[in-house]
Amino acid sequence: MRLGRSRSLTIETSSKRLVKILTDYDTVEENQGYTNVPEKHIMRATIASLRRHPEPIIFKLVDHLNPTSGLRKARDLANAALNKPSSVQMCFDPCSNPEPGVAGAKLSAMTQALAYKSIAIYENERKPVQTRRSTSVNLAAIQRFCEDTYQKVPSESEIWKGLRTRDLDKKCQEFCWKLIHDAYFVGKRWLHIPGYEDRGYCKHCDNVVESMDHILFECNAVGQKQIWELTKSLWNKRQSFWPAPSLGSVTAFKFINDPNADTRLSPGDKRLFAILAPESARLIWRLRCERVIEKENKNFSRQEIFSRWKSMINGRLHTERLATNTKFGRCALPPLRVKKTWEGLLENEDELPDDWSGAGEVLVGIGVDPPS
Ligand SMILES: [Zn+2]
């Protein structure tokens, strides 16, 4: 950033917060070394340049709708800069100036989480982490799915952020994370190990090399198709729109949306889908591992699959009811949220008391018919 150093400077902005950040030496952002600020390098370089400016700097708060302010022109210039080819580098580089810029985080404001984050940022800048090719391929497939099905394309960071939700069980979070990174040791990975090549092929489908896509969404082994049918039948009690099971529907559950509907899905519907899709996919994976490792690839019966699926869903429902207990304080799940998630799906729902979500002594389970 280059400023005319012999002239006073007037900066127009519509953000009081920005003025505070640029002028106050005791903000949270300053004390934390701007670690949690997006585009932290630009912010640090800007503040360092302003603090070195020898002449007075005047901040002018203006209405962002005021046509006489220069905000619109500044925004146009910023957009023009963003549209420049990526090879054009911006001139904000605090390291290029030998003068001291902005200090890092203060020790008095340091927390363990902030320290970890700062170290991770430092390490990543020193040696940027290369994205795995399979991760990029999977993220692109998820984005294509969202565009085709939900008519919205989430960014890669939005997809990752979508997984960090309390609605998702920790094991399901890990499962989705590994799915996107293609971290499971199946299929083609066995083909390179002499003597174990046959483990790469599915024993239930003709000469097909296994993959997580095949196991979860295509395999002929008993369980895969049935579990998705059961999940769909449960979901259809609430919504007719059903996204076809795929890597995108399982990992990008947060973006579910019926593009042809007049109204958006309710938070309860979205939360239900966030539970059903990843939990069902993980159950298919667990059953596949049991079948291959413990049952010498012998198929489960349809009744067994039904019982395991129903038990998994009821288990999750039970956990949610326990989580409404007030002994968990601020971490307790609001009973109304649990109710809105599961309403319309329960057995003998009309006979349940109003506070069934928190009443531990009441037996509650989902109402689904066993396979014929
Ligand atoms: Zn198969």
Rounded Cα distance, 339 and 346, in Å: 10
pLDDT of residue 99: 46
DSSP string, 231-252: HHHHHTTT-S--PPPSHHHHH-
CA of 219 to the centre of ligand 1 (A): 4
CA of 244 to the centre of ligand 1 (A): 18
CB 168 within 8 A of CB 274: yes
Q: Give the distance between the most distant pair of CA atoms in the chain.
A: 85
CA of 33 to the centre of ligand 1 (A): 52
Rounded Cα distance, 369 and 372, in Å: 8
CA of 241 to the centre of ligand 1 (A): 27
For 4, counting Cβ atoms within 10 Å of its Cβ (0-12 exposed, 13-18 middle, 19+ buried), the class is: exposed
CA of 250 to the centre of ligand 1 (A): 19
Please report, for the chain, the start and end positions of each structural domain, with discontinuous segments joined by +.
9-126, 135-312
| DSSP summary character for residue 219 | -
CA of 84 to the centre of ligand 1 (A): 48
CB 346 within 8 A of CB 353: no
First-last CA distance in the chain: 72
- pLDDT block averages, 10 residues each, the chain of length 372: 68 83 79 79 80 84 75 79 59 49 77 87 80 93 95 93 92 96 94 92 92 96 94 92 95 92 90 96 96 92 93 91 87 89 84 70 67 64
CA of 158 to the centre of ligand 1 (A): 32
| 3 state SS of 24 | coil
Q: Return the C-alpha torsion angle 297, 298, 303, 307, nearest 10.
A: -40
Q: SS3 breakdown of the chain: % helix, strand, coil, rounded to 5?
A: 50, 5, 45
At position 125, the amino acid (one-letter code) is: E
| In the chain, beta strands by DSSP E | 9-13, 57-61
pTM given for the model: 0.74
pLDDT of residue 351: 76
| 3 state SS of 74 | helix
CA of 314 to the centre of ligand 1 (A): 28
Which H or E element spans position 81? helix 71-82
Rounded Cα distance, 168 and 179, in Å: 15
CA of 202 to the centre of ligand 1 (A): 5
